[in-house]
Amino acid sequence: MLSFDTDGDFTNNYKFLIGSILPRPIAFVSTLNEDGSNNLAPFSFFTAISAKPMIVAFSPLIRSSTGKMKDTPINILKNGEFVINIVSEQIANQVNLCASELAYGEDEFLKSKLTAIDSEIVKPKRVKESLVHFECKFRDNLSYGDGIGAGQIITGEVVKVHVAEEIYQEGRILTDKLNPLGRGAGNDWIKCNDRIQLERLTAQIQK
């Protein structure tokens, strides 16, 4: 087995992370810019934290191109609200387009031709083409530095969930209908419908 130190260039550490933590779910985050225009960007360092209260978290890194914080965390820290739109295979190309660095204030909804719809509680818009939306109120921010490659954890409390009727049945989201998509390394995107089912050990023991 090969061993590596982690105190060198950030790119090597980044490659280890994105090449081994797979698949990474994508938070497609919509926020409002300071001038009220829409902002929409994907983040693949994303997870659930708590069910009650319902807390989710994602981690935007400092831009490698400029060494500055990305627009999404700037907007959240100023406005305190955001929406996480879950990514399905059907909108992969539009999500990929929104990963590009656009000029501040340029509306990614218009650029990607995705449809912005009103949220019920928060001000940022939802992506109509996404099948699950989490309306979030900013909860906490934990920064790990301000250099290139440094990240921060932004947590939000989910105050409203929206699920498309066609993917919801008997209290469950149907994975086959959602067609969730995750990120891999480089240009790789990973389909999440190829899976196995294993009964939990406690259930096996009780039989």
Written as tens digits, the pLDDT of the chain (207 aa) is 999 999 998 999 999 999 999 999 999 999 999 999 999 999 999 999 999 999 999 999 998 888 899 999 999 999 999 999 999 999 999 999 999 988 888 899 999 999 999 999 999 999 999 999 999 999 999 999 999 999 999 999 999 999 999 999 999 999 999 999 999 999 999 999 888 989 887 766 666
For residue range 115-169, what is the model confidence (pLDDT) as tens digits? Answer: 999 999 999 999 999 999 999 999 999 999 999 999 999 999 999 999 999 999 9
Q: Name the H helices within the chain.
A: 10-20, 71-79, 92-98, 108-112, 175-178, 201-206
Q: Name the H helices within 22-164.
A: 71-79, 92-98, 108-112
**pTM score of the predicted model:** 0.94
Q: Which of the 8 DSSP states describes residue 133? A: E
Three-state SS at 156 = strand
pLDDT score, position 67: 87
- Cis? peptide before 42, omega within 30° of 0: no
As a whole number of angstroms, the distance between CA 97 and CA 108 comes to 8
Homologous superfamily assigned to 13-206 = Electron Transport, Fmn-binding Protein; Chain A (2.30.110.10)
Three-state SS at 142 = strand
